[in-house]
Amino acid sequence: MPYYANWNQNASLLFATPSVPQRGLGNRVFNLPLGATVGGGTTVNGMAYVRGASVDYDTWEDIGNRNWGWKEMFKYFKKSSTLNVPSPDIVEQLRYTFDRSSYGHGPAQGTLPPWTWPDVYRINDAWTEDLGFLFRNDGGMNGDLLGVSWKPISTDGKNQTRCSARRAYYDPVQHRPNLHLLVNSYVGRVQIRKSTAKGVEVYSRSDPSKKFTILADNEVILARGGIHTPQILQLSGIGPRDVLERLNIPVVEDLSGVGANFQDHPTVRGASFRFNNPNPINFAALVNNASFFNASWAQYMANRTGPLTVSGGNSHLIASLHNLTTSAPTLITSLITALNSTTYLPTHYLNKPTLLAGYAAQLSLLTRALRAGTNPLTEFGWSGGSPGMAVVLQKPLSRGTVLINSTDPHPGLSPPLVDFNALAHPFDARVAVLAFKLLRRVMLTAPAMRPLQVEELVPGAAVQSDEEIENVLRGSLMSPHNAHPCGTAGMMPRELGGVVDERLRVYGVKGLRVVDASVLPVIVAANLQVTMCAVAEKAADIIRGEGGGRGRD
């Protein structure tokens, strides 16, 4: 049920991985929830079903990955996806706009729900009619995200239930005789002999003392995600020499990029507003009014419509730097080109020239997109059913690390050291301040919002200067992540700190690939699940030797 995506998931389905104290965020510690069930994060996420911008994937190609640009990836977005929409009369009633031609008939389902909160139109009008943003009739699925668009969620269009990667890809083929799924287990290490992956060590989650080995006939494919894949690689002797030798792990392959290049989406979550004249049909009423909830429950059970078909909201704004400030060129010069950005990298980057070269290449490409005004920089997501709005930094310049400090492979009991290094780069901090000011502007001054009589509660009217706003963001309102960890086994040339090549093969080790979010060289301006379905489809074609592009049989 989409409604329950708003709430904390069953703890048994998650690894709640703590960060190290975040220096840029008041030395606070943050838990990063990671899926610990079949389907991974797609089983426990907020269900947003969105793609990145064309410039995101073109950046992947420009950094050295042939055939990973937008044109190629768009084929895999279509191959993996299906768009479900309500009946024509409901589409007209809800004023939905979309472009079916940007979808295919794949297993991953995106759905525009058959219901939405009434005030979502108010915020859409505030963005477009009052503040002048474009409304995107194509839903932002064709490579240009800038503006306001309807946002599908990952549900089955018929039953309005979550469509996870498990339901999309595993359930339909689970009875194949050559497919075996081992649950309640985790991989600790890859067994490597003579620089060739031979198999994996597997442990029982309920009793880690139970260990056995699974041998590979052809190759090993890691798909443990942005946190646990670098942990496994490092424990297997693949990673930065200094980290491995500190723990007396024999070095199989010295790859400085394993665990570096860590990225996520820093998010403003603590800002709070109150509607003194609220619409009675709102999210708070669903939580606090038993009659409204019971009626909504009955509506969902009877015909799969109503408020419970909506998760975190299905409308959002994507803004560029030029949308946030009229001084974009000056800001780029003063906070990027005039600075030595390597100063803000983790100390782990010191004396590792390939990591520094890779970051320099990324920074050059990101700066080019910023100057062109094509880089989607921030997302503003409001459900229309509550006074809160998440503000997400989509393209941070800061980079973090994921490094082991133990030889214990248990992903829950002995997680690696997770350092987001959030807001280390002054450009990121400036973008956060500008985004918060735009949030204030739309909530407190847009004519479309005035009937709600919006009042700011946190941080409150006393916080006005840019310095005051930055301090409160760092001290209490900002999270370093949106549960989108990636980049820690980056697909880049080895001389740029890459870990895998454009065919997802780990450098220096035969028979070992990585297919998960850790390979993303630069984070995309979107939630990751749609991108990862496309990456997996392309990986399948690469591994089968098809070379890409063929539709599903």
Identify whether 459 is preceded by a cis peptide bond (ω within 30 of 0).
yes
Distance CA 534, CA 104 (A): 12
Distance CA 311, CA 315 (A): 11
Q: Is 187 assigned a ligand-binding role in the annotation?
A: yes
Distance CA 486, CA 474 (A): 22
Distance CA 153, CA 315 (A): 10
Bridge-based pairing of strands 454-458 and 272-275 is: antiparallel
Distance CA 527, CA 530 (A): 7
Q: How far is CA 65 from the centre of its chain?
A: 21
Element (H, E) at 466: helix 466-472
Q: What is the DSSP string of 503-530?
A: T-BBTT-BTEEE-SGGG-SS--SS-SHH
Distance CA 149, CA 192 (A): 48
Q: What is the DSSP letter of 130?
A: I
Q: Which long-range contacts (CB under 8 A, 24 or more apart) does 234-242 make?
A: 234/258, 234/259, 234/403, 234/404, 234/416, 235/188, 235/189, 235/404, 235/407, 235/409, 236/189, 236/190, 236/191, 236/192, 237/192, 238/190, 238/192, 238/506, 238/508, 238/509, 240/348, 240/352, 240/403
Which token pair is 91? 């589409």
Bridge-based pairing of strands 253-254 and 238-239 is: parallel
Q: Residue 218 corresponds to which amino acid?
A: N
- What are the E-state strand segments in 158-291? 185-193, 196-204, 211-215, 220-222, 238-239, 253-254, 267-268, 272-275
> In Å, what is the CA distance from 162 to each residue of 7, 156, 469, 549?
14, 6, 37, 28
Q: What is the DSSP letter of 20?
A: P
- Dihedral angle sign, alpha carbons of residues 171, 177, 179, 184: positive
- 473 within 8 A of 433, measured Cβ to Cβ: yes
- Dihedral angle sign, alpha carbons of residues 526, 530, 534, 535: positive
Q: Cα 257–261–267 angle (5° rounding)? A: 160
> In Å, what is the CA distance from 377 to each residue of 151, 417, 430, 477?
17, 27, 12, 19
Binding residues for FAD, as ranges, are: 187
User: Which positions make up the binding site?
Assistant: 187
